[in-house]
Protein backbone atom coordinates (compact mmCIF):
# COMPACT_ATOMS: atom_id res chain seq x y z
CA UNK A 1 0.00 0.00 0.00
CA UNK A 2 1.49 3.40 -0.94
CA UNK A 3 2.50 5.67 1.91
CA UNK A 4 0.07 8.55 2.44
CA UNK A 5 1.62 12.01 2.25
CA UNK A 6 -0.67 14.87 3.21
CA UNK A 7 1.10 17.70 1.40
CA UNK A 8 1.84 15.62 -1.68
CA UNK A 9 -1.85 14.70 -1.92
CA UNK A 10 -2.98 18.31 -1.47
CA UNK A 11 -0.59 19.54 -4.17
CA UNK A 12 -1.72 16.74 -6.51
CA UNK A 13 -5.39 17.61 -5.95
CA UNK A 14 -4.80 21.31 -6.66
CA UNK A 15 -2.72 20.56 -9.77
CA UNK A 16 -5.20 17.99 -11.12
CA UNK A 17 -8.23 20.22 -10.56
CA UNK A 18 -6.48 23.17 -12.23
CA UNK A 19 -5.45 21.08 -15.24
CA UNK A 20 -8.90 19.48 -15.62
CA UNK A 21 -10.67 22.84 -15.51
CA UNK A 22 -8.13 24.26 -17.96
CA UNK A 23 -8.64 21.35 -20.35
CA UNK A 24 -12.42 21.79 -19.98
CA UNK A 25 -12.09 25.42 -21.02
CA UNK A 26 -10.02 24.58 -24.07
CA UNK A 27 -12.28 21.65 -24.94
CA UNK A 28 -14.89 24.28 -25.79
CA UNK A 29 -12.42 25.94 -28.18
CA UNK A 30 -11.57 22.52 -29.67
CA UNK A 31 -15.27 21.79 -30.07
CA UNK A 32 -15.81 25.02 -31.99
CA UNK A 33 -12.64 24.64 -34.09
CA UNK A 34 -13.39 21.03 -35.07
CA UNK A 35 -17.00 21.94 -35.80
CA UNK A 36 -15.79 24.76 -38.04
CA UNK A 37 -13.35 22.42 -39.80
CA UNK A 38 -16.07 19.84 -40.47
CA UNK A 39 -18.43 22.54 -41.79
CA UNK A 40 -15.71 24.29 -43.82
CA UNK A 41 -15.73 27.41 -41.64
CA UNK A 42 -12.95 29.31 -39.86
CA UNK A 43 -14.18 29.17 -36.28
CA UNK A 44 -13.06 31.45 -33.40
CA UNK A 45 -9.99 33.42 -34.42
CA UNK A 46 -10.44 36.95 -33.03
CA UNK A 47 -9.44 36.70 -29.37
CA UNK A 48 -5.70 36.20 -29.17
CA UNK A 49 -3.49 34.47 -31.74
CA UNK A 50 -5.52 31.85 -33.63
CA UNK A 51 -8.32 32.42 -31.14
CA UNK A 52 -6.40 30.73 -28.29
CA UNK A 53 -7.66 33.26 -25.72
CA UNK A 54 -11.32 32.63 -26.59
CA UNK A 55 -11.87 30.29 -23.55
CA UNK A 56 -10.68 33.06 -21.23
CA UNK A 57 -13.12 35.49 -22.82
CA UNK A 58 -15.92 32.93 -22.47
CA UNK A 59 -15.03 32.37 -18.81
CA UNK A 60 -15.09 36.10 -18.08
CA UNK A 61 -18.44 36.36 -19.86
CA UNK A 62 -19.93 33.68 -17.59
CA UNK A 63 -18.36 35.34 -14.55
CA UNK A 64 -19.79 38.81 -15.20
CA UNK A 65 -23.09 37.72 -16.69
CA UNK A 66 -26.19 38.52 -14.63
CA UNK A 67 -27.11 35.57 -12.42
CA UNK A 68 -30.87 35.12 -12.84
CA UNK A 69 -32.94 32.82 -10.61
CA UNK A 70 -36.57 32.72 -11.82
CA UNK A 71 -39.29 33.21 -9.21
CA UNK A 72 -41.04 29.93 -10.00
CA UNK A 73 -38.11 27.59 -9.25
CA UNK A 74 -37.30 25.55 -6.14
CA UNK A 75 -34.32 27.66 -5.16
CA UNK A 76 -32.48 25.12 -2.97
CA UNK A 77 -32.57 22.30 -5.54
CA UNK A 78 -32.05 24.79 -8.37
CA UNK A 79 -28.69 25.80 -6.84
CA UNK A 80 -27.79 22.28 -5.74
CA UNK A 81 -28.08 20.70 -9.21
CA UNK A 82 -25.10 22.42 -10.96
CA UNK A 83 -22.97 22.01 -7.83
CA UNK A 84 -23.69 18.28 -7.83
CA UNK A 85 -22.86 18.06 -11.55
CA UNK A 86 -19.34 19.48 -11.27
CA UNK A 87 -18.53 17.90 -7.88
CA UNK A 88 -19.34 14.33 -8.96
CA UNK A 89 -17.36 14.74 -12.18
CA UNK A 90 -14.28 15.92 -10.27
CA UNK A 91 -14.60 13.43 -7.40
CA UNK A 92 -14.78 10.47 -9.80
CA UNK A 93 -11.28 11.35 -10.99
CA UNK A 94 -9.78 10.71 -7.54
CA UNK A 95 -8.82 7.08 -8.27
CA UNK A 96 -8.05 7.45 -11.99
CA UNK A 97 -4.31 7.28 -12.83
CA UNK A 98 -3.23 10.11 -15.12
CA UNK A 99 0.43 9.16 -15.46
CA UNK A 100 2.91 6.35 -14.78
CA UNK A 101 2.17 4.29 -11.67
CA UNK A 102 3.70 1.17 -10.16
CA UNK A 103 2.28 -1.67 -8.11
CA UNK A 104 3.73 -4.02 -5.47
CA UNK A 105 5.92 -6.67 -7.09
CA UNK A 106 7.19 -4.50 -9.93
CA UNK A 107 10.95 -3.84 -10.15
CA UNK A 108 11.83 -0.62 -8.37
CA UNK A 109 8.51 -0.35 -6.54
CA UNK A 110 8.60 1.29 -3.12
CA UNK A 111 5.63 2.43 -0.99
CA UNK A 112 7.14 5.92 -0.80
CA UNK A 113 7.29 6.32 -4.60
CA UNK A 114 5.08 9.08 -6.02
CA UNK A 115 2.04 7.76 -7.88
CA UNK A 116 0.27 9.82 -10.56
CA UNK A 117 -3.14 9.35 -8.96
CA UNK A 118 -4.84 11.25 -6.14
CA UNK A 119 -5.90 8.15 -4.16
CA UNK A 120 -3.48 5.33 -5.09
CA UNK A 121 -3.87 1.71 -4.14
CA UNK A 122 -7.68 1.62 -3.86
CA UNK A 123 -8.58 -2.03 -4.47
CA UNK A 124 -12.06 -1.20 -5.83
CA UNK A 125 -11.01 1.80 -7.90
CA UNK A 126 -13.18 1.15 -10.96
CA UNK A 127 -16.24 0.45 -8.76
CA UNK A 128 -15.67 3.76 -6.92
CA UNK A 129 -15.49 5.65 -10.23
CA UNK A 130 -18.70 4.09 -11.53
CA UNK A 131 -20.48 4.71 -8.23
CA UNK A 132 -19.62 8.41 -8.22
CA UNK A 133 -20.32 9.01 -11.91
CA UNK A 134 -23.75 7.37 -11.51
CA UNK A 135 -24.67 10.18 -9.12
CA UNK A 136 -24.42 12.71 -11.95
CA UNK A 137 -27.90 11.73 -13.11
CA UNK A 138 -29.30 13.33 -9.94
CA UNK A 139 -27.86 16.70 -10.99
CA UNK A 140 -29.77 16.54 -14.27
CA UNK A 141 -32.99 15.32 -12.66
CA UNK A 142 -32.85 17.96 -9.92
CA UNK A 143 -32.07 20.67 -12.46
CA UNK A 144 -35.10 19.76 -14.57
CA UNK A 145 -37.47 19.25 -11.64
CA UNK A 146 -36.48 22.38 -9.72
CA UNK A 147 -36.77 24.58 -12.85
CA UNK A 148 -40.56 24.08 -12.84
CA UNK A 149 -40.41 24.18 -16.64
CA UNK A 150 -42.02 21.56 -18.87
CA UNK A 151 -39.12 21.50 -21.34
CA UNK A 152 -36.57 21.15 -18.53
CA UNK A 153 -38.63 18.42 -16.87
CA UNK A 154 -38.92 16.44 -20.12
CA UNK A 155 -35.17 16.72 -20.61
CA UNK A 156 -34.43 15.46 -17.11
CA UNK A 157 -36.88 12.56 -17.46
CA UNK A 158 -35.24 11.54 -20.72
CA UNK A 159 -31.90 11.65 -18.96
CA UNK A 160 -33.02 9.49 -16.05
CA UNK A 161 -34.09 6.77 -18.49
CA UNK A 162 -31.04 7.05 -20.71
CA UNK A 163 -28.32 7.28 -18.07
CA UNK A 164 -29.71 4.57 -15.83
CA UNK A 165 -30.13 2.28 -18.84
CA UNK A 166 -26.59 2.77 -20.09
CA UNK A 167 -24.96 2.43 -16.68
CA UNK A 168 -25.80 -1.29 -16.85
CA UNK A 169 -23.90 -2.14 -20.06
CA UNK A 170 -21.08 0.23 -19.11
CA UNK A 171 -20.47 -1.68 -15.88
CA UNK A 172 -21.01 -5.11 -17.41
CA UNK A 173 -18.75 -4.47 -20.41
CA UNK A 174 -15.58 -4.25 -18.31
CA UNK A 175 -16.13 -7.48 -16.36
CA UNK A 176 -14.14 -9.43 -18.94
CA UNK A 177 -11.24 -6.99 -18.52
CA UNK A 178 -11.48 -7.30 -14.74
CA UNK A 179 -11.37 -11.11 -14.96
CA UNK A 180 -8.32 -11.04 -17.22
CA UNK A 181 -6.55 -8.50 -14.99
CA UNK A 182 -7.54 -10.23 -11.71
CA UNK A 183 -8.16 -6.83 -10.13
CA UNK A 184 -10.55 -3.90 -9.84
CA UNK A 185 -7.62 -1.59 -9.19
CA UNK A 186 -6.88 0.65 -12.16
CA UNK A 187 -3.13 0.74 -11.50
CA UNK A 188 -3.03 -3.08 -11.57
CA UNK A 189 -4.95 -3.15 -14.85
CA UNK A 190 -2.37 -0.83 -16.45
CA UNK A 191 0.54 -2.78 -14.93
CA UNK A 192 -0.71 -6.09 -16.34
CA UNK A 193 -0.92 -4.66 -19.85
CA UNK A 194 2.50 -3.03 -19.56
CA UNK A 195 4.02 -6.30 -18.30
CA UNK A 196 2.90 -8.22 -21.40
CA UNK A 197 3.67 -5.42 -23.85
CA UNK A 198 1.91 -3.89 -26.83
CA UNK A 199 0.01 -7.08 -27.65
CA UNK A 200 -1.07 -7.29 -24.04
CA UNK A 201 -3.37 -4.29 -24.40
CA UNK A 202 -6.92 -5.34 -23.65
CA UNK A 203 -8.23 -3.91 -26.92
CA UNK A 204 -6.83 -7.00 -28.71
CA UNK A 205 -8.53 -9.44 -26.33
CA UNK A 206 -11.74 -7.56 -25.63
CA UNK A 207 -12.76 -5.56 -28.74
CA UNK A 208 -16.45 -6.19 -28.06
CA UNK A 209 -16.08 -4.88 -24.50
CA UNK A 210 -14.34 -1.77 -25.85
CA UNK A 211 -17.13 -1.06 -28.34
CA UNK A 212 -19.81 -1.56 -25.68
CA UNK A 213 -17.98 0.61 -23.16
CA UNK A 214 -17.34 3.34 -25.76
CA UNK A 215 -21.01 3.44 -26.77
CA UNK A 216 -22.12 3.58 -23.14
CA UNK A 217 -19.66 6.42 -22.47
CA UNK A 218 -21.20 8.49 -25.27
CA UNK A 219 -24.63 7.99 -23.69
CA UNK A 220 -23.37 8.76 -20.17
CA UNK A 221 -21.73 11.99 -21.35
CA UNK A 222 -24.88 13.09 -23.27
CA UNK A 223 -22.87 13.39 -26.46
CA UNK A 224 -24.34 13.12 -29.93
CA UNK A 225 -26.01 10.95 -31.05
CA UNK A 226 -27.15 10.46 -27.44
CA UNK A 227 -27.79 14.10 -26.44
CA UNK A 228 -31.53 13.49 -25.88
CA UNK A 229 -31.67 15.29 -22.49
CA UNK A 230 -30.75 18.56 -24.24
CA UNK A 231 -32.12 18.11 -27.82
CA UNK A 232 -32.31 21.81 -28.71
CA UNK A 233 -34.78 21.32 -31.57
CA UNK A 234 -37.30 19.65 -29.28
CA UNK A 235 -36.64 20.93 -25.75
CA UNK A 236 -35.18 24.46 -26.24
CA UNK A 237 -32.20 23.56 -24.03
CA UNK A 238 -33.41 20.65 -21.98
CA UNK A 239 -32.72 20.43 -18.27
CA UNK A 240 -30.61 23.62 -18.17
CA UNK A 241 -33.08 25.88 -20.04
CA UNK A 242 -33.60 28.10 -16.97
CA UNK A 243 -29.91 28.29 -16.03
CA UNK A 244 -27.56 31.17 -16.79
CA UNK A 245 -24.15 32.59 -15.88
CA UNK A 246 -21.96 30.44 -13.62
CA UNK A 247 -24.67 27.88 -12.89
CA UNK A 248 -24.91 27.05 -16.58
CA UNK A 249 -21.09 27.00 -16.77
CA UNK A 250 -20.97 24.45 -13.95
CA UNK A 251 -23.26 22.10 -15.89
CA UNK A 252 -21.01 22.61 -18.90
CA UNK A 253 -17.83 21.95 -16.90
CA UNK A 254 -19.37 18.85 -15.33
CA UNK A 255 -20.10 17.37 -18.75
CA UNK A 256 -16.64 18.11 -20.11
CA UNK A 257 -14.89 16.89 -16.93
CA UNK A 258 -16.87 13.65 -17.23
CA UNK A 259 -15.55 13.29 -20.79
CA UNK A 260 -11.98 13.64 -19.50
CA UNK A 261 -12.54 10.97 -16.84
CA UNK A 262 -14.11 8.51 -19.26
CA UNK A 263 -11.39 9.15 -21.85
CA UNK A 264 -8.77 8.25 -19.24
CA UNK A 265 -10.77 5.12 -18.39
CA UNK A 266 -10.85 4.07 -22.05
CA UNK A 267 -7.08 4.43 -22.24
CA UNK A 268 -6.51 2.62 -18.93
CA UNK A 269 -8.86 -0.29 -19.55
CA UNK A 270 -8.12 -1.00 -23.20
CA UNK A 271 -5.03 0.86 -24.46
CA UNK A 272 -2.38 0.16 -21.85
CA UNK A 273 -2.49 3.45 -19.94
CA UNK A 274 0.95 5.05 -20.02
CA UNK A 275 2.49 2.06 -21.83
CA UNK A 276 3.95 2.33 -25.32
CA UNK A 277 6.42 0.01 -27.09
CA UNK A 278 10.01 0.72 -26.19
CA UNK A 279 9.50 2.93 -23.14
CA UNK A 280 8.66 0.40 -20.40
CA UNK A 281 12.23 0.21 -19.11
CA UNK A 282 12.85 3.96 -19.25
CA UNK A 283 13.51 5.46 -15.84
CA UNK A 284 14.42 8.78 -14.36
CA UNK A 285 12.71 12.10 -14.88
CA UNK A 286 12.82 11.82 -18.68
CA UNK A 287 11.06 8.45 -18.64
CA UNK A 288 8.38 9.73 -16.28
CA UNK A 289 7.70 12.79 -18.44
CA UNK A 290 7.57 10.69 -21.63
CA UNK A 291 5.10 8.23 -20.10
CA UNK A 292 2.99 11.10 -18.79
CA UNK A 293 2.91 12.74 -22.23
CA UNK A 294 1.95 9.46 -23.94
CA UNK A 295 -0.86 8.93 -21.44
CA UNK A 296 -2.25 12.42 -21.99
CA UNK A 297 -1.95 12.17 -25.80
CA UNK A 298 -3.94 8.94 -25.75
CA UNK A 299 -6.61 10.65 -23.65
CA UNK A 300 -6.71 13.68 -25.96
CA UNK A 301 -7.19 11.41 -28.98
CA UNK A 302 -10.48 10.23 -27.47
CA UNK A 303 -11.45 13.84 -26.71
CA UNK A 304 -11.02 14.62 -30.42
CA UNK A 305 -12.94 11.45 -31.31
CA UNK A 306 -15.89 12.73 -29.25
CA UNK A 307 -15.95 15.87 -31.41
CA UNK A 308 -15.66 14.08 -34.74
CA UNK A 309 -18.53 11.71 -33.94
CA UNK A 310 -20.73 14.71 -33.14
CA UNK A 311 -20.72 15.69 -36.81
CA UNK A 312 -20.83 12.14 -38.16
CA UNK A 313 -24.06 10.67 -36.83
CA UNK A 314 -27.50 12.34 -36.46
CA UNK A 315 -29.39 12.30 -33.17
CA UNK A 316 -31.45 9.22 -32.36
CA UNK A 317 -35.16 9.21 -31.74
CA UNK A 318 -35.84 8.62 -28.04
CA UNK A 319 -37.02 5.00 -28.53
CA UNK A 320 -33.91 4.03 -30.50
CA UNK A 321 -31.23 4.40 -27.78
CA UNK A 322 -33.52 2.68 -25.28
CA UNK A 323 -33.93 -0.28 -27.63
CA UNK A 324 -30.18 -0.29 -28.30
CA UNK A 325 -29.41 -0.43 -24.57
CA UNK A 326 -31.87 -3.13 -23.55
CA UNK A 327 -31.93 -5.31 -26.67
CA UNK A 328 -28.27 -5.12 -27.72
CA UNK A 329 -25.89 -3.57 -25.20
CA UNK A 330 -27.09 -5.56 -22.18
CA UNK A 331 -27.23 -9.08 -23.73
CA UNK A 332 -23.87 -8.76 -25.53
CA UNK A 333 -21.67 -8.16 -22.44
CA UNK A 334 -23.32 -11.18 -20.82
CA UNK A 335 -22.31 -13.34 -23.79
CA UNK A 336 -18.80 -11.85 -23.70
CA UNK A 337 -18.51 -12.44 -19.95
CA UNK A 338 -19.58 -16.08 -20.24
CA UNK A 339 -17.00 -16.66 -22.99
CA UNK A 340 -14.20 -15.16 -20.91
CA UNK A 341 -15.26 -17.08 -17.77
CA UNK A 342 -15.39 -20.44 -19.54
CA UNK A 343 -12.10 -19.96 -21.39
CA UNK A 344 -10.26 -18.76 -18.28
CA UNK A 345 -11.68 -21.65 -16.26
CA UNK A 346 -10.10 -24.15 -18.68
CA UNK A 347 -6.85 -22.13 -18.78
CA UNK A 348 -7.24 -21.28 -22.45
CA UNK A 349 -4.48 -19.13 -24.01
CA UNK A 350 -5.05 -15.42 -24.48
CA UNK A 351 -5.31 -15.66 -28.25
CA UNK A 352 -8.31 -17.96 -27.88
CA UNK A 353 -10.07 -15.36 -25.70
CA UNK A 354 -9.36 -12.77 -28.39
CA UNK A 355 -10.77 -15.04 -31.10
CA UNK A 356 -13.93 -15.61 -29.04
CA UNK A 357 -14.44 -11.87 -28.48
CA UNK A 358 -13.84 -11.00 -32.14
CA UNK A 359 -16.22 -13.80 -33.19
CA UNK A 360 -19.00 -12.52 -30.92
CA UNK A 361 -18.38 -8.95 -32.14
CA UNK A 362 -18.53 -9.82 -35.84
CA UNK A 363 -21.42 -12.26 -35.38
CA UNK A 364 -23.49 -9.74 -33.44
CA UNK A 365 -22.79 -7.03 -36.04
CA UNK A 366 -23.95 -9.31 -38.83
CA UNK A 367 -26.99 -10.34 -36.80
CA UNK A 368 -28.02 -6.75 -36.06
CA UNK A 369 -27.52 -5.78 -39.71
CA UNK A 370 -29.83 -8.59 -40.77
CA UNK A 371 -32.68 -7.66 -38.44
CA UNK A 372 -35.98 -6.96 -40.25
CA UNK A 373 -36.77 -3.26 -40.36
CA UNK A 374 -39.77 -1.80 -38.60
CA UNK A 375 -42.67 -0.95 -40.96
CA UNK A 376 -42.04 2.76 -40.61
CA UNK A 377 -38.34 2.36 -41.30
CA UNK A 378 -39.05 0.14 -44.31
CA UNK A 379 -41.44 2.72 -45.75
CA UNK A 380 -38.89 5.48 -45.18
CA UNK A 381 -36.16 3.43 -46.86
CA UNK A 382 -38.45 2.65 -49.81
CA UNK A 383 -39.39 6.32 -50.11
CA UNK A 384 -35.72 7.27 -50.03
CA UNK A 385 -34.92 4.83 -52.82
CA UNK A 386 -37.78 6.24 -54.91
CA UNK A 387 -36.43 9.78 -54.46
CA UNK A 388 -32.92 8.68 -55.38
CA UNK A 389 -34.16 6.90 -58.50
CA UNK A 390 -36.21 9.92 -59.58
CA UNK A 391 -33.21 12.22 -59.11
CA UNK A 392 -31.04 9.82 -61.10
CA UNK A 393 -33.55 9.81 -63.95
Q: How far apart are CA 147 and CA 348, in angstroms?
A: 55
For residues 332 and 210, give the distance between their C-alpha atoms in angstroms, rounded to a whole number: 12
pLDDT value at 384 more than 60: no
Domain-wise residue ranges, the chain:
68-392
pLDDT at position 165 is 87
Say how far apart CA 264 and CA 272 lie, in whole Å.
Answer: 11
Provide the residue count of the chain.
393
- How would residue 267 be classed by pLDDT, with cut points 50, 70 and 90? very high
Q: Pick the residue with more confidence: 232 or 238?
A: 238
Residue 355 has pLDDT above 50, yes or no: yes
pTM here is: 0.87
- Find, among 202, 165, 137, the residue nearest to 328 by Cα: 165
Give percent of the chain above pLDDT 90: 15
Cα Rg, the chain, nearest whole Å: 23
For the chain, how far is it from start to end, CA to CA, in angstroms?
Answer: 73
The kind and range of the H/E element at 25 are: helix 6-38
pLDDT band at 373 (very low <50, low <70, confident <90, very high): low
Report the Cα 308 to chain-centroid distance in Å: 14
Which stretch of 33-37, 170-174, 230-234, 253-257 has the lowest confidence by average pLDDT? 230-234
Long-range contacts of 354-357 (CB under 8 A, 24+ apart): 354/204, 354/205, 354/207, 357/176, 357/205, 357/206, 357/207, 357/208, 357/209
Amino acid sequence: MPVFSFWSTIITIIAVMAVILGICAYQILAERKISAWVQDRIGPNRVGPLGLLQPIADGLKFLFKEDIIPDHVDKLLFLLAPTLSISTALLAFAVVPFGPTSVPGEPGYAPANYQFVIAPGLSIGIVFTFAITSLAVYAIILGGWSSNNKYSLLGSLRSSAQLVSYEIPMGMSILGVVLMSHSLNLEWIVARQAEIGFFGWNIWYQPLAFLLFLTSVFAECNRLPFDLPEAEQELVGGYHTEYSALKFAMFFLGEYAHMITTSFLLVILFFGGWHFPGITALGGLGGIILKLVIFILKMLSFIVFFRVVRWTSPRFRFAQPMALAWKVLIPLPLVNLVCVMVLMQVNAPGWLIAVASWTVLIGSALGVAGWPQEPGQARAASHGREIAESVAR
